[in-house]
Amino acid sequence: MPRRLWFFLTALGLLSLLAFFSTAYSSFADKPSNCQGLPNESQLRAFLVAAQTSGGTVGGLFNGTRMWGAVVNRDGEVCTFVTSTTDPTQVWPGSQAIAKSKAYTANAFSLDSLALSTARLYTFTQPGHSLWSLGQSNPFDPKALAPPSGGSGGKNQIAGGLIFFGGGVPLYNSSGQIIGGLGVSGDTSCADHEIAKRVRNLASLNPPTGSLVDDIVYSPPDAPSVFAHPKCLNTYRNGIFIGNETPASY
Protein backbone atom coordinates (compact mmCIF):
# COMPACT_ATOMS: atom_id res chain seq x y z
CA MET A 1 0.00 0.00 0.00
CA PRO A 2 1.36 3.44 -0.88
CA ARG A 3 2.54 5.36 2.18
CA ARG A 4 0.36 8.38 1.36
CA LEU A 5 -2.76 6.21 1.20
CA TRP A 6 -1.78 4.51 4.47
CA PHE A 7 -1.49 7.86 6.26
CA PHE A 8 -4.83 8.97 4.83
CA LEU A 9 -6.65 5.85 5.98
CA THR A 10 -5.03 6.03 9.42
CA ALA A 11 -6.05 9.68 9.88
CA LEU A 12 -9.57 8.88 8.71
CA GLY A 13 -9.81 6.06 11.23
CA LEU A 14 -8.63 8.25 14.09
CA LEU A 15 -11.12 10.97 13.20
CA SER A 16 -13.93 8.41 13.11
CA LEU A 17 -12.88 7.06 16.50
CA LEU A 18 -12.76 10.54 18.04
CA ALA A 19 -16.18 11.35 16.61
CA PHE A 20 -17.59 8.15 18.11
CA PHE A 21 -16.28 8.85 21.60
CA SER A 22 -17.35 12.50 21.40
CA THR A 23 -20.89 11.47 20.50
CA ALA A 24 -20.97 8.79 23.18
CA TYR A 25 -19.75 11.21 25.86
CA SER A 26 -22.21 13.88 24.78
CA SER A 27 -25.05 11.38 24.88
CA PHE A 28 -24.05 10.34 28.39
CA ALA A 29 -23.57 13.87 29.69
CA ASP A 30 -26.83 15.11 28.22
CA LYS A 31 -28.89 12.02 28.91
CA PRO A 32 -32.49 12.84 29.77
CA SER A 33 -33.51 12.57 33.40
CA ASN A 34 -36.91 11.35 34.55
CA CYS A 35 -38.15 14.54 36.20
CA GLN A 36 -41.81 14.13 35.28
CA GLY A 37 -44.12 15.60 37.90
CA LEU A 38 -41.36 17.59 39.60
CA PRO A 39 -41.00 21.41 39.59
CA ASN A 40 -38.87 22.98 36.87
CA GLU A 41 -36.58 25.94 37.56
CA SER A 42 -39.18 28.70 37.15
CA GLN A 43 -41.74 26.81 39.21
CA LEU A 44 -39.26 26.06 41.99
CA ARG A 45 -38.22 29.72 42.24
CA ALA A 46 -41.88 30.80 42.37
CA PHE A 47 -42.56 28.29 45.16
CA LEU A 48 -39.48 29.43 47.11
CA VAL A 49 -40.69 33.04 46.96
CA ALA A 50 -44.32 32.22 47.78
CA ALA A 51 -43.24 30.07 50.74
CA GLN A 52 -41.80 33.10 52.50
CA THR A 53 -45.30 34.39 53.32
CA SER A 54 -47.56 31.36 52.92
CA GLY A 55 -47.57 30.16 56.53
CA GLY A 56 -46.63 32.98 58.87
CA THR A 57 -43.18 33.98 60.06
CA VAL A 58 -40.33 31.75 58.88
CA GLY A 59 -37.79 32.98 61.44
CA GLY A 60 -34.07 32.43 61.20
CA LEU A 61 -31.67 35.10 60.01
CA PHE A 62 -33.35 36.19 56.78
CA ASN A 63 -36.95 34.95 57.21
CA GLY A 64 -36.30 32.47 54.41
CA THR A 65 -35.66 35.08 51.72
CA ARG A 66 -32.17 33.93 50.60
CA MET A 67 -32.50 30.29 49.62
CA TRP A 68 -31.04 27.69 47.34
CA GLY A 69 -33.56 25.05 46.32
CA ALA A 70 -32.77 21.74 44.62
CA VAL A 71 -34.89 18.82 43.42
CA VAL A 72 -33.83 15.25 42.66
CA ASN A 73 -35.86 12.45 41.11
CA ARG A 74 -36.37 8.99 42.59
CA ASP A 75 -33.05 7.85 41.12
CA GLY A 76 -31.32 10.65 43.01
CA GLU A 77 -30.47 12.60 39.84
CA VAL A 78 -30.48 16.40 40.06
CA CYS A 79 -33.50 17.69 38.15
CA THR A 80 -33.30 21.40 38.92
CA PHE A 81 -31.71 23.90 41.28
CA VAL A 82 -32.21 27.62 41.67
CA THR A 83 -32.06 30.50 44.15
CA SER A 84 -35.06 32.38 45.46
CA THR A 85 -33.33 35.63 44.52
CA THR A 86 -32.75 37.00 41.05
CA ASP A 87 -29.12 37.60 42.05
CA PRO A 88 -27.73 34.21 43.13
CA THR A 89 -24.54 35.79 44.46
CA GLN A 90 -26.59 37.14 47.38
CA VAL A 91 -27.34 33.64 48.65
CA TRP A 92 -24.64 31.72 50.55
CA PRO A 93 -22.53 29.92 47.88
CA GLY A 94 -22.01 27.02 50.26
CA SER A 95 -25.75 26.40 50.41
CA GLN A 96 -25.91 25.10 46.84
CA ALA A 97 -24.16 21.84 47.77
CA ILE A 98 -26.17 21.60 50.99
CA ALA A 99 -29.49 21.99 49.18
CA LYS A 100 -28.57 19.28 46.68
CA SER A 101 -27.39 16.98 49.47
CA LYS A 102 -30.59 17.54 51.46
CA ALA A 103 -32.69 16.67 48.41
CA TYR A 104 -30.62 13.52 47.88
CA THR A 105 -30.89 12.52 51.56
CA ALA A 106 -34.65 13.01 51.86
CA ASN A 107 -35.23 10.92 48.76
CA ALA A 108 -32.64 8.28 49.68
CA PHE A 109 -34.16 7.42 53.06
CA SER A 110 -37.89 7.77 52.37
CA LEU A 111 -40.41 5.27 50.98
CA ASP A 112 -44.02 5.32 49.84
CA SER A 113 -44.93 4.27 53.38
CA LEU A 114 -42.33 6.39 55.23
CA ALA A 115 -41.73 10.10 54.70
CA LEU A 116 -38.51 11.05 56.46
CA SER A 117 -37.37 14.66 56.41
CA THR A 118 -33.69 15.39 57.00
CA ALA A 119 -34.67 17.18 60.24
CA ARG A 120 -35.83 13.86 61.69
CA LEU A 121 -32.46 12.22 61.11
CA TYR A 122 -30.56 14.63 63.36
CA THR A 123 -30.52 12.68 66.65
CA PHE A 124 -29.95 9.28 65.00
CA THR A 125 -26.74 10.51 63.38
CA GLN A 126 -25.11 12.11 66.42
CA PRO A 127 -22.14 10.46 68.22
CA GLY A 128 -23.30 7.60 70.40
CA HIS A 129 -26.50 7.02 68.40
CA SER A 130 -27.40 4.21 66.04
CA LEU A 131 -26.65 5.94 62.71
CA TRP A 132 -23.44 7.73 63.69
CA SER A 133 -21.05 7.84 60.67
CA LEU A 134 -23.90 7.41 58.15
CA GLY A 135 -22.74 10.65 56.54
CA GLN A 136 -19.58 8.93 55.28
CA SER A 137 -21.52 6.48 53.11
CA ASN A 138 -22.48 8.75 50.20
CA PRO A 139 -20.11 11.73 49.85
CA PHE A 140 -21.09 14.73 47.74
CA ASP A 141 -19.52 14.94 44.28
CA PRO A 142 -17.91 18.41 43.95
CA LYS A 143 -18.31 18.19 40.16
CA ALA A 144 -22.04 18.64 40.81
CA LEU A 145 -21.48 22.29 41.77
CA ALA A 146 -22.15 25.20 39.43
CA PRO A 147 -20.97 28.80 39.78
CA PRO A 148 -23.77 31.11 40.96
CA SER A 149 -23.91 32.57 37.44
CA GLY A 150 -24.88 29.21 35.92
CA GLY A 151 -23.33 26.05 34.53
CA SER A 152 -24.40 22.44 34.38
CA GLY A 153 -24.04 21.87 38.13
CA GLY A 154 -24.51 18.10 37.91
CA LYS A 155 -27.93 18.30 36.29
CA ASN A 156 -29.22 14.86 35.32
CA GLN A 157 -26.41 13.31 37.39
CA ILE A 158 -26.30 11.92 40.92
CA ALA A 159 -24.61 14.46 43.19
CA GLY A 160 -24.88 12.43 46.40
CA GLY A 161 -24.16 13.96 49.77
CA LEU A 162 -25.93 13.36 53.08
CA ILE A 163 -27.22 16.08 55.42
CA PHE A 164 -28.91 15.40 58.77
CA PHE A 165 -30.49 18.70 59.77
CA GLY A 166 -33.57 20.58 58.64
CA GLY A 167 -34.28 21.52 55.04
CA GLY A 168 -34.83 18.29 53.09
CA VAL A 169 -38.20 16.64 52.44
CA PRO A 170 -39.35 13.77 50.20
CA LEU A 171 -41.80 14.46 47.36
CA TYR A 172 -44.86 12.38 46.44
CA ASN A 173 -47.26 12.23 43.51
CA SER A 174 -51.06 12.25 43.79
CA SER A 175 -51.06 8.44 43.98
CA GLY A 176 -48.95 8.51 47.14
CA GLN A 177 -45.76 7.29 45.47
CA ILE A 178 -42.43 8.90 46.24
CA ILE A 179 -40.98 10.59 43.16
CA GLY A 180 -37.97 12.46 44.55
CA GLY A 181 -36.72 14.90 47.13
CA LEU A 182 -36.46 18.63 47.76
CA GLY A 183 -33.58 20.38 49.52
CA VAL A 184 -33.55 23.98 50.75
CA SER A 185 -30.60 25.85 52.26
CA GLY A 186 -29.63 29.47 52.90
CA ASP A 187 -30.78 30.27 56.44
CA THR A 188 -30.80 28.44 59.77
CA SER A 189 -31.60 24.75 59.40
CA CYS A 190 -34.92 25.36 61.17
CA ALA A 191 -35.91 28.09 58.70
CA ASP A 192 -34.75 25.87 55.84
CA HIS A 193 -37.18 23.18 56.98
CA GLU A 194 -40.05 25.68 57.20
CA ILE A 195 -39.46 26.79 53.61
CA ALA A 196 -39.01 23.22 52.34
CA LYS A 197 -42.29 21.92 53.74
CA ARG A 198 -44.13 25.00 52.47
CA VAL A 199 -42.68 24.56 48.97
CA ARG A 200 -43.75 20.91 49.00
CA ASN A 201 -47.25 21.92 50.03
CA LEU A 202 -47.48 24.67 47.40
CA ALA A 203 -46.35 22.17 44.77
CA SER A 204 -49.02 19.65 45.91
CA LEU A 205 -46.32 17.01 46.47
CA ASN A 206 -47.08 16.10 50.09
CA PRO A 207 -46.87 12.58 51.55
CA PRO A 208 -50.17 10.65 51.43
CA THR A 209 -50.47 10.90 55.23
CA GLY A 210 -50.34 14.70 55.22
CA SER A 211 -48.06 17.69 54.92
CA LEU A 212 -46.84 17.58 58.54
CA VAL A 213 -46.23 13.85 58.94
CA ASP A 214 -42.45 14.41 58.87
CA ASP A 215 -42.47 17.87 60.44
CA ILE A 216 -39.57 18.99 62.57
CA VAL A 217 -39.66 17.98 66.26
CA TYR A 218 -38.23 20.09 69.09
CA SER A 219 -37.70 18.68 72.59
CA PRO A 220 -38.80 20.86 74.34
CA PRO A 221 -41.53 22.01 73.80
CA ASP A 222 -42.40 18.59 72.35
CA ALA A 223 -42.07 15.39 74.32
CA PRO A 224 -38.62 13.72 74.25
CA SER A 225 -38.15 11.98 70.92
CA VAL A 226 -35.49 10.15 68.92
CA PHE A 227 -36.57 12.37 66.01
CA ALA A 228 -35.75 15.59 67.88
CA HIS A 229 -33.85 18.46 66.27
CA PRO A 230 -32.23 21.31 68.24
CA LYS A 231 -33.74 24.78 68.09
CA CYS A 232 -31.96 27.44 66.03
CA LEU A 233 -31.71 31.20 66.33
CA ASN A 234 -35.17 32.76 66.15
CA THR A 235 -36.98 29.45 65.65
CA TYR A 236 -40.55 29.36 64.32
CA ARG A 237 -42.65 26.34 63.43
CA ASN A 238 -45.82 26.77 61.38
CA GLY A 239 -45.83 30.49 62.20
CA ILE A 240 -45.46 30.00 65.99
CA PHE A 241 -42.36 31.13 67.88
CA ILE A 242 -40.58 28.16 69.49
CA GLY A 243 -37.49 29.78 71.01
CA ASN A 244 -33.76 30.13 70.42
CA GLU A 245 -30.81 27.82 70.29
CA THR A 246 -29.39 26.91 73.70
CA PRO A 247 -26.32 29.06 74.46
CA ALA A 248 -22.99 27.30 74.75
CA SER A 249 -21.86 26.45 78.29
CA TYR A 250 -18.28 26.79 79.50
249 pLDDT band (50/70/90 cuts)? confident
25-54 confidence digits (pLDDT tens) = 333 344 456 999 999 999 999 999 999 999
Sequence spans of domains, the chain: 41-243
3-state SS, residue 44: helix
**pLDDT of amino acid 32:** 56
3-state SS, residue 80: strand
**pLDDT of amino acid 5:** 43
The answer to whether 84 and 58 have CB atoms below 8 angstroms apart is: no
186-230 confidence digits (pLDDT tens) = 999 999 999 999 999 999 999 999 999 999 999 999 999 999 999
What average pLDDT does this structure show over 13-23? 42
When the candidates are 3.30.450.150, 3.30.470.20, 3.40.190.10, 3.40.50.2300, the CATH number that belongs to 41-243 is: 3.30.450.150
pTM for this model (two decimals): 0.86
Cβ neighbours, 10 Å, residue 124: 15
Q: Where are the beta strands (DSSP E) in 123-196?
A: 168-172, 178-185
68-86 confidence digits (pLDDT tens) = 999 999 999 999 999 999 9
What are the residues whose beta carbons fall under 8 Å from the beta carbon of 245, sequence distance 6 or more?
Answer: 230, 231, 232, 233, 235
